[in-house]
């Protein structure tokens, strides 16, 4: 299965999602989106395919969101996407694209919605939170 993760290695959620993908037996294509941001068209498609608005896909925490005035409700989607392309840290992460769909995997368990059910063991996040039981089934 072809899987692509738009990854930030400094982000714990992104690392957990990458580990979940690998636990499914898949080695994904990894795009360090801070160094290689998606094109305007790719970003707009990922946001739409994930069923999000642009405002839901933009990251505020730890970014220049407020300093750039992006909290102005008069700004349209095109202006927000342009800001995300120019300043990739504004792209919330991680986006994951598979043949089963596209998700902004926040929380990390959201990626399970678009991965095959091939898990055979428990899975724990970096912080120790259990995501998959000993049979590899999602909790909750």
Active-site residue numbers?
A: 11
CA-to-CA distance for 91 and 65, rounded, in angstroms?
10
3-state helix, strand, coil in the chain (%, to 5): 35, 15, 50
| Residue keyed to tokens 């505020």 | 60
Contacts of residue 82, Cβ cutoff 8 Å, sequence gap at least 6 = 40
CA 119 → CA 6, 26, 123, distances in Å? 22, 11, 9
Where residue 128 falls (left for φ over 0; alpha for ψ -120 to 50; beta otherwise) is left
């Amino acid at each position: 299965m072809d899987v692509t993760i738009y990854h930030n290695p400094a982000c714990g959620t992104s690392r957990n999602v990458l580990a979940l993908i690998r636990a499914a037996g898949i080695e994904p294509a990894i795009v360090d989106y801070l160094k290689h941001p998606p094109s305007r068209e790719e970003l707009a498609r990922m946001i739409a395919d994930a069923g999000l608005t642009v405002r839901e896909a933009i990251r505020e925490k730890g970014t220049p969101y407020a300093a750039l005035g992006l909290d102005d409700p008069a700004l349209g989607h095109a202006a927000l996407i342009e800001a995300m392309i120019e300043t990739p840290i504004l792209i919330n992460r991680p986006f994951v694209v598979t043949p089963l769909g596209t998700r902004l995997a926040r929380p990390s368990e959201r990626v399970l919605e678009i991965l095959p059910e091939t898990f055979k063991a428990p899975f724990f996040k970096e912080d120790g939170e259990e995501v998959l039981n000993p049979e590899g089934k999602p909790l909750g």
